[in-house]
Amino acid sequence: MADSDIAPGGSLFGSLLTAMVTPMRADGTIDLDETARLADKLVSDGCDGLVVAGTTGESSTLDDEEKVSLFRAVVESVGDRASVIAGTGSNDTAHSVLLSEMAAETGVDGLLLVTPYYLKPTQSGVQAHFEAVANKTDLPIMLYDIPGRSAVPILPDTMLRLAEHPQIIAVKDAKADFAAASYVMANSDLVFYSGDDGLTLPWMSLGAAGLVGVTTHLATVQFRQLVDAVLAGDLATARRIHFELEPAIRAAMTRVPGAVAAKEILSWQGVLPDPTVRLPLTAPTSAEHELMRADLADAGMELTR
């Protein structure tokens, strides 16, 4: 997406982004043709941004060559119609720098950098990690604050210091500390995105630009309507859609990991031919299937399989 193509919400990245699954064949190899088709469908249905090789894309089980092939396939499929954000973060700063440089060569529009995980760095280490990557790229960066996975949050004062870097422009927030986020939003130009599908409306009521979601795979049109309603100031419509989406979000986000659920439901919808995931993720059990299908029935979703 060109720099001049600013989405209605006012963000370079867009207002409705899906953290894409990585389509795979039954043997676990990546299916780039299905990746391109899925990207096209998501954008046609209302997404103005896609995150590739993030958590939902099973990034921790992909090697660098696979990630680069995914970045390239999505850019070629929809790069002229939506922003393409490459997930290049890890807990290894040098590796994050290298992968970010490789991603830039594919024509992506930005980078998603998760907080370094497992090692539990101090806030000075978190800051230095992000700045090391930002210093090596001309691409805009979205920080991914998800202490439930990384163990370490990005504290407000750290965010304010990072906001001073010209390449760091946004935050995907998956910790739902609205007080801390309000402080950062009031004192910086960082653009926030909900990192929790069910909190899209509360986040946008504070001024967040939109959502980076998982359930957006299977209810893209409804999420587009929700986001557009908030941007238009139509909170009554936004609230109605928020509640209508609750069962779908339950199916996609609470029964099994999001990548597993999204692939399974996409296969039930006839969108994805194969729901294969890589270990240590596994397919849902029969009991989990029943719960997910009941949730989707509550949401009024039609399934073809």
Written as six digits, the tokens of 238 are 């936004």
144 is an active site residue: yes
Catalytic residue of the set 67, 117, 118, 144: 144
Beta bridge partners of 173: 145, 194
Rounded to whole angstroms, the Cα distance separating 137 from 95 reads 14
Written as six digits, the tokens of 220 are 């893209």
193 is an active site residue: no
Catalytic residue of the set 41, 117, 118, 172: 172
Rounded to whole angstroms, the Cα distance separating 37 from 60 reads 23
Written as six digits, the tokens of 90 are 């890890």
Positions marked active-site: 144, 172
